[in-house]
Amino acid sequence: DKPRVWVSRPTFPGVIARLEPHFEVTVEDTERKLGPSELAARLARQDAVIVGLKDRIGAAEVGAAERLRIVANLAVGYDNIDVDAMSAAGIAVSNTADVLNESVADYAWALLLGAARRMTAAERWLRAGHWHATEFKAWLGSDVRGRTLGILGMGRIGQAIAHRAVGFGMPVIYHNRSPLPEAVERACHARHVDKAQLLGESDFLVLALPLTPRTRHAVGAPELALMKPTALLINIARGGIVDDAALAAALRDRRLAGAALDVFEGEPKLHPALLTLDNVVLSPHIASATTETRRAMTSVAVDNVLALFGHGPHAGRPPNIVNPNVL
């Protein structure tokens, strides 16, 4: 009797197929978000599950999952999973750290440049049939060269974002709970500052930190008030780190020049005011969405499941466990 794996959404069948020699595999064939009791019923008979950010998994969802040994999350962030509850139940949790760093860093820059140059607003205007003769001073954006890039949260994604700043000629400052070792700072040309300084000096502030109880509303009204009115805020991290109501108010009153957001508090719902503002670039949580990276993320999840059950290239040593105490 093979152990059972459930995959909560369609992914890359060729990658998932690597599980088949060792597991009985069930793949959910739609992206529909399952309710808590449906999710609990799906998990009940599994030995391993591969899930995504739409799946919120806590003590109740694994209450009947007596055989479950690992929850492999198809994301680097795992705020959708109650890790303490998993640890208490002896269930390992894995993420997809590292394989998405470059794609997410690229996308942070796409948002930054898109907001600086007003690309999506200009496109909406063009699609609405407005381009007759563009005025010389229409659609003026701002240059990035020489302006200060601030990064809040300087993990591996933050560092990948910083590396790219060299080519754009931007000095980089960052704030992190613990400053990076000097050699790493030098490698990414970044200088540690306190949070107030970061907020006050950044022309472009990129958020690259995980959502935890400590970082919820790390950027709210008091923080926004410290930012330059000419600054742009870019969030590729998580909704909930920013107080979206406070952000929408600051953007509306032009106390902040603009924003570019891939993630939202309460997504897939957006704060309605954000949808009415022209000085914000919006996208539906796609910073890691390249074919290469989403395939690699699937592969990492599969490797972790295989490894925990003693198979594959990391047999016995699953590489991305976030609660290694359970192993």
Burial 71-102 (b: 16+ CB within 10 A, else e): bbbbbbbbbbbbbebbbebebbbbbbbebbbb
Q: CB–CB of 259/120 below 8 Å?
A: no
Q: Is 31 in the active site?
A: no
In terms of Cα–Cα distance, which of 307, 326, 323, 320 is closest to 48?
307
With binding defined as CB under 6 A, does residue 76 bind ligand GLV? Answer: yes
Determine the size of the site formed for ligand GLV (CB under 6 A).
Answer: 5
CB nearer ligand GLV, residue 148 or residue 235: 235
With binding defined as CB under 6 A, does residue 288 bind ligand GLV? Answer: yes
CB nearer ligand GLV, residue 76 or residue 241: 76
Given the residues 216, 267, 311, 314, the one annotated as active site: 267
DSSP secondary structure, 152-171, as one string: ES-SHHHHHHHHHHHHHT--
Instruction: Tell me how far apart the 2 most distant CA atoms of the chain are, in Å.
Output: 72
Q: Which two tokens stand for residue 107?
A: 């996308």
User: What residue type is assigned to position 86 of the chain?
Assistant: M
In terms of Cα–Cα distance, which of 287, 295, 298 is closest to 320?
298
Contacting range for ligand GLV; rule: CB under 6 A; set: 29-37, 40-48, 72-80, 193-201: 72-80
Beta-bridged to residue 190, according to DSSP, are 172
Q: Is 223 in the active site?
A: no
Q: Is 127 in the active site?
A: no
With binding defined as CB under 6 A, does residue 75 bind ligand GLV? Answer: yes
Q: Which two tokens stand for residue 161?
A: 């974002």
With binding defined as CB under 6 A, does residue 235 bind ligand GLV? Answer: no
In terms of Cα–Cα distance, which of 112, 66, 109 is closest to 89?
66
Contacting range for ligand GLV; rule: CB under 6 A; set: 71-79, 153-161, 305-313, 316-324: 71-79
The site map against ligand GLV for 163-202 (x = CB under 6 A) is ----------------------------------------
With binding defined as CB under 6 A, does residue 77 bind ligand GLV? Answer: yes
Contacting range for ligand GLV; rule: CB under 6 A; set: 26-34, 74-82, 193-201, 301-309: 74-82
Q: Which residues bind ligand GLV (CB under 6 A)?
A: 75-77, 100, 288
Indicate which residues carry an active-site annotation: 238, 267, 285
